[in-house]
């Protein structure tokens, strides 16, 4: 299967380099030179993943991401020349699934693209009937259709947020360390970067909890990790 990628990047040299490499990898790449054009192309077609620069003319990448998230849970990989925890947290907090800092290697970019698509598309694989729906408290988690409802209202989750919730929901009362979570969800070795996990956990709690500051579902065990308690 050929996957379609939307690349929104105002630096033409980077745009051409990334498009050329990913095209050779077998992807269909559509490009946009600014946020306004990127949004227009997003609305005109369906993509399996979006690569989004942050600093762009007309509409910056964070605003573009915010608008996309109102309509879609398509995986978003952000690119940024700013390598600070604040910028990463802000981007991920708005709904990005992953980030890569400039300068980057094409091998790393390709690996992140493939991982993002793999995580997203694996939920479309048919599952056994008894495993499709998980009900916990006022949450209904449909693992076959990649959807979550709270009080019978659909909640929009990113692919990473859904993976986190599914991990805990299918392993109720089991404690996961941050290293285990990172390995299982990000498929990479954990080097102690808690920011990525913390941001995603905060965003997930904001969506599923009545009061995120006093979570009833996913509990924090300080100095150990997290677990989902059955209500």
Region 35-44: mean pLDDT is 93
Which tops the pLDDT comparison, 127 or 151? 151
Range scoring the smallest mean pLDDT among 49-63, 75-89, 105-119, 206-220: 75-89
Radius of gyration of the chain (CA): 18
Q: How high is the pLDDT of residue 145?
A: 76
Question: Rounded CA gap, 124 and 144, in Å?
Answer: 6
pLDDT tens-digit series, residues 189-205: 777 767 888 889 999 99
Question: Rounded CA gap, 131 and 120, in Å?
Answer: 18
Q: How high is the pLDDT of residue 54?
A: 87
* Other Cβ atoms closer than 10 A to 26: 9
Q: Could you tell me the domains of the chain?
A: 4-123 (3.40.50.2300), 126-228 (1.10.10.10)
Cα–Cα–Cα angle for 167, 173, 177, nearest 5°?
A: 60
Question: Rounded CA gap, 37 and 49, in Å?
Answer: 16
Structure tokens at 134: 């998980």
Task: Place 125 in a pLDDT band, splitting at 50, 70 and 90.
Answer: very low
């Amino acid at each position: 299967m050929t996957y379609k990628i939307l690349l929104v990047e105002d630096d033409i040299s980077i745009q051409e380099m990334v498009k050329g490499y990913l095209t050779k990898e077998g992807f269909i790449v559509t490009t946009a030179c600014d946020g306004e054009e990127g949004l227009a192309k997003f609305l005109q077609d369906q993509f399996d993943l979006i690569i989004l620069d942050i600093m762009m003319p007309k509409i910056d990448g964070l605003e573009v991401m915010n608008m996309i998230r109102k309509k879609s849970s398509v995986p978003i990989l952000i690119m940024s020349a700013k390598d600070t925890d604040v910028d990463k947290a802000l981007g991920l907090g708005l709904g990005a699934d992953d980030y890569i800092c400039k300068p980057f290697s094409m091998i790393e970019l390709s690996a992140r693209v493939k991982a993002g698509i793999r995580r997203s598309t694996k939920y479309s694989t048919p599952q056994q009937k008894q495993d499709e729906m998980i009900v916990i408290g006022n949450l209904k988690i449909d693992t076959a259709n990649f959807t979550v409802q709270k009080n019978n209202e659909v909640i929009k989750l990113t692919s990473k947020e859904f993976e986190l919730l599914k991990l805990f929901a299918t392993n109720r009362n089991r404690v996961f360390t941050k290293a285990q979570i990172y390995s299982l969800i990000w498929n990479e070795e954990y080097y102690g970067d808690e920011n990525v996990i913390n941001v995603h956990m905060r965003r997930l709690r904001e969506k599923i909890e009545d009061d995120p500051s006093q979570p009833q579902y996913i509990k924090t065990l300080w100095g150990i990790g997290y677990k989902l308690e059955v209500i």
